[in-house]
Structure 1
């Protein structure tokens, strides 16, 4: 870690946190990721080597501890690491309120569906297996098809056909789906403009917005 040479508490904190990806790794752990592959899914454009390096840095700084159970290595936030939850939340809320339109490079279906998988309100879904099939119209054919499968409290995301009956087909762009997840737009506006097209039984179509919900930071931001 490089020192700023200042006694300022903000400067001392940033000596640990301002390296690229570091705070996003903390964000993933606050969201529940505990194992290396889970962390990679939350930061899909971060190389495995760099992720390992950042985890070691966080360990040395006392924010993360390494755990071993059932022959598998995991990572957990210490009290100091968990105490960053308010910082991460405040940064996210500030971003939603003040940072403008997303660039094309910001749109990542892997991160979007990973975030959906761990935070959608499963209690709003039917208790029987329910499948949403997404066709993302602004992606090439090999990356455009995604499936969200909810059975009880279990949520799976597939980028290949899982072979189950589809409850509702959702046709939209990745950009629109990201904007809905971030609450940058509303389902009423997206459906009314034709930016989202739903195909399936009418009761299921009406339920889709509540099934998917939105990112937790949007609620904190009052969006």
Structure 2
């Protein structure tokens, strides 16, 4: 835990745990359904495994996270105390999307975007069988790959940064910032298609239904303040 604020205020005591770097984002991942160490890493791609392990230990010691051994693999879950952080995480996210509108180039991460898309799929809307969405970001530079594949089958989905070798159902070519803005609810799918910053290749029926396969970010529906108020 971080150094004590030496205040009896419960806000100060809570922040001694929660204002450690990455800590609340780990809680965000657990709230979003990640439970395995590797899944947590994929949701926090710029966090080192060593630091992730340390933060999980701190959260477990504080009674926020519990380790659940089973099937040869440790899983992590929120305790009742951790579950009480869900509305706090949601409120912070809603506040952030309303009032922190600026996104720097360094904030754009294709791995995080595809991982979040993967866990916000409406599987009932996806065609039966195996569906493969190929996504290309021509403007992305190393160390991030430009090409990604989202493989959806049997109510499950996975993200690949190497060609999985399956037939592609539909292909997206997009500017990374533009697709992030669509995902966040900052602009519409139709508007981005018209701008040419997003292009879809595949059968017409698939192109027409594709937007409905994804429920967008949980914060996409948060009302934004009027431009004059935001400024």
The match for 1:202 among 195, 204, 211 is 204
Match of 2:195 among 193, 196, 199: 193
1:180-203 C-alpha deviation (Å, 9 max, x unpaired): 111111111101111111111111
Equivalence for 1:55: 56
Equivalent residue of 1:16, what SS? Answer: helix
**RMSD of aligned alpha carbons:** 1.5
Q: Deviations over 1:149-183 (max 9, x none)?
A: 21231212111112222222111111111111111
| Segment of structure 1 superposing worse, 137-146 or 69-78 | 137-146
Give the secondary structure class of the aligned counterpart of 1:169: strand
1:140 Cα deviation after fit? 3.4
State which of 192, 211, 220 in structure 2 corresponds to 1:218.
220
> Residue 74 of structure 2 aligns to a residue in which SS?
strand
Gaps (5+ residues) in structure 2?
Answer: 225-231
Helix, strand or coil: the match of 2:124? helix
State the partner residue of 1:120.
Answer: 121
Residue of structure 1 in register with 2:227 after alignment: none
CA distance in 1, matches of 2:129, 2:73: 32
Report how far residue 55 of structure 1 moved: 0.8
In structure 2, what is the Cα distance between the partners aligned to 1:65 and 1:197? Answer: 43
Q: Is there any run of 5+ residues in structure 1 with no aligned partner, and where?
A: none
Equivalent of 1:166 in 154, 165, 168: 168
Q: How much has 1:22 moved relative to structure 2?
A: 0.3
> When the two structures are superposed, what TM-score results if normalisation uses the length of structure 2?
0.91
Q: 1:91 to 1:135 in 2, by over 3 A?
A: same
Aligned to 1:25: 26
Question: Would you say the 8 A contact 1:183–1:218 is kept in 2?
Answer: yes
Provide the rounded CA distance (Å) in 1 between the counterparts of 2:131 and 2:61: 44
Aligned to 2:156: 154
Residue 215 of structure 1 and its aligned partner are, at CA, apart by: 0.8
Higher share of residues assigned helix: 1
Q: Is the 8 A contact 1:147 1:159 kept in 2?
A: yes
Are 1:85 and 2:119 counterparts? Answer: no
Instruction: Kindly indicate whether the alpha-carbon contact (under 8 Å) linking 1:126 and 1:152 is maintained by their aligned counterparts in 2.
Output: no
User: Does the 8 A contact of 1:120 with 1:213 survive in 2?
Assistant: yes
How far has the Cα of 1:80 moved from its partner?
A: 0.2
